[in-house]
Amino acid sequence: MKDYIVRATAANAQIRAFAATTRELTETARAHHDSSPIATAAVGRLMTAGAMMGSMMKNDTDVLTLQIRGNGPIQGLTVTADSRGNVKGYAINPNVMLPPKNGKLDVGGAVGIGVLSVIKDMGLKEPYVGQCELKTGEIAEDLTYYFATSEQVPSSVGLGVLMNKDNTVRCAGGFIIQVMPFIEDEVLDRLEANISKVHSVTEMLKDGHTPEEMLEKVLEGFELTITDTMPTQFTCNCSKERIEKAIVSLGKNEIQSMIDDGKTIEVSCHFCNTQYHFEIEELEDIITRSK
Ligand SMILES: [Zn+2]
């Protein structure tokens, strides 16, 4: 099954809903960094949320960044997404190993206590930045808390990544349910009762539920309208030119000292781990051109 995002409304648009299957993009991120199961689960959950939240943005050029910084051994996670289902992400420490907690990957333990930042660059002078403290470090709860406190949109976020025994990704996906300010009390009560019955996204994925089926389950008893479906994928837009810009931003003194060391340099992309190689002459060129 290819990765895709489904967008839907229910109860006469009093509820809006998103669901996604993201096994391929999570496996792509895992393969780029050969990341541990916990790091893969953490990045996969955040990328799944990022893909759905990206699809909430209006313009093709809008960029969403989700950043987590915590005191746990994974140190942090960064995900960026656009409005067309392109998403990428990485963990600062992709090799984290921790013993399981209650038989599950201890993502909360790997992330620790910290801060979630949501940055939306919509081409305005200043990007929108929303921040909140991490609730559990399990990511779905943290995003639920973020939506409630920072965007004032009551939401329920469910995210799951299940690994195979050989440490590849077996399934990944999730949902975001949001209620509109004009929601009727009885609709909200029924929704809350539904959500309290949903034990785990991972279980639904394991049972082979598609995004549509996940929404049917979470929104059982509501009239559900699927508004659209779009593919989502791991996409990295790095290039030698972009890496060169990053080198330029180090400043002339720093570049000169690399030249003086007489060593060619290797820079790898944080997101996709592609190695970019710069010869001494190329570094000299960069200095000349940045004068
Ligand atoms: Zn890259």
- Per-residue pLDDT at 199 exceeds 80: no
Ligand 1 center–CA 236 separation, angstroms? 5
Ion ligand 1 contact residues with beta carbon within 5 A: 236, 238, 269, 271-272, 274
**Average of per-residue pLDDT across 37-57:** 98
CA of 177 to the centre of ligand 1 (A): 31
Cβ proximity of 136 and 108 under 8 Å: yes
pLDDT of residue 1: 78
Q: Which ranges in 19-139 belong to alpha helices (H)?
A: 23-33, 37-54, 107-111
Which band of pLDDT confidence, cut at 50, 70 and 90, is reported for residue 41?
A: very high
Range 107-134 average pLDDT: 96
CA of 120 to the centre of ligand 1 (A): 20
Q: How far is the CA of 74 from the centre of ligand 1 (A)?
A: 20
Q: Which domains does the chain have, with CATH numbers?
A: 4-234 (3.55.30.10), 240-289 (3.90.1280.10)
pLDDT for 289 equals 83
pLDDT value for 264? 84
Expressed in angstroms and rounded, the spacing between residue 68 Cα and the centre of ligand 1 is: 19
Q: What angle do CA 255, 257, 261 make, to 5 degrees?
A: 120
Distance CA 202, CA 235 (A): 24
8: part of which helix (H) or strand (E)? strand 4-10
> How large is the average pLDDT for residues 199-215?
93
Rounded mean pLDDT, 111-130: 95
CA of 30 to the centre of ligand 1 (A): 14
Tokens, residue 163: 């690994």
- Ligand 1 centre from 78 Cα, in Å? 13
- Provide the percentage of residues in the chain whose pLDDT is more than 90: 85
What's the mean pLDDT in 254-275?
A: 90
CB atoms within 10 A of CB 244: 19
Burial 155-177 (b: 16+ CB within 10 A, else e): bbbbbbbbbeeeeebbbbbbbbb
Beta bridge partners of residue 119, listed in sequence order: 65, 129
Average pLDDT over residues 160-171: 96
- The CA R_g of the chain, rounded to the nearest whole Å, is 21
DSSP letter, residue 139: S
Nearest to 159 by CA among 143, 170, 135, 148: 143
Strands 63-70 and 114-121: antiparallel
Q: What is the pTM of this model?
A: 0.94
Question: Are 119 and 64 contacting, i.e. CB atoms less than 8 angstroms apart?
Answer: yes
Beta bridge partners of 174: 20, 159
Write a three-state SS string for 37-62.
Answer: HHHHHHHHHHHHHHHHHHCCCCCCCC
In whole angstroms, what is the distance from residue 218 CA to residue 103 CA? 24
Provide the token pair at 126: 């200043």
β-bridge mates for residue 128, sequence order: 120
> What's the rounded Cα separation, in Å, for the pair 59 and 48?
20
- Pair of tokens at residue 113: 């206590």
Amino acid at position 271, single letter: F
User: For all residues of the chain together, what is the average pLDDT?
Assistant: 95
CB 216 within 8 A of CB 210: no
Residue 90 CA, ligand 1 centroid: distance in Å: 10
pLDDT of amino acid 250: 87
| Residue 258's pLDDT band (cuts 50, 70, 90) | confident
Helix, strand or coil, per DSSP, at residue 196: helix
Residue 171: its pLDDT value, please?
96
H or E segment at 162?
Answer: strand 155-163
Give the number of C-alpha atoms closer than 13 A to the C-alpha of residue 191, restricted to the C-beta side. Answer: 24
CA–centroid distance for 82 within its chain? 11
